[in-house]
Amino acid sequence: MARNPIELAGARPGPPFEITFDGRTVTALPGQSVAAALWAAGILAWRTTRRGGRPRGAFCGIGQCYDCLATVNGRPNRRACLVPARPGDAVTTQQGDGHER
């Protein structure tokens, strides 16, 4: 029998809200990090490496590795696993170090 995290934890989060990822609408729940909201939507990568342009997303999930860097509301280099999702947030794929040359 499959059970979801809400049933297992007994959590009753507030109503869902929307953020966007590269223009795509993503549903988030109160208390979720940006990374958690993206994961829940099936999005596993939101930055590319400086050398080689390889995709990256969350790795450690606790803010230690910096693989989850994303551009949130125009601010690059935000650790998506630590940034709480807020209604209307605009998350975009970060290219390299997030600064245009």
CATH number of the CATH domain containing 71: 3.10.20.440
Residue 5's pLDDT is what? 66
Residue 30's pLDDT is what? 92
Distance CA 91, CA 26 (A): 10
The verdict on residue 101 lying in a domain is: no
As for how many domains the chain has, the answer is: 1
The verdict on residue 9 lying in a domain is: no
The verdict on residue 31 lying in a domain is: yes
Q: What is the mean pLDDT of each run of 10 residues along the chain (101 residues)?
A: 71 87 96 94 90 86 87 95 97 80 49
**Range(s) of the domain holding residue 51:** 15-95
The verdict on residue 8 lying in a domain is: no
The verdict on residue 4 lying in a domain is: no
Write down the pTM of the prediction. Answer: 0.82
Residue 14's pLDDT is what? 85
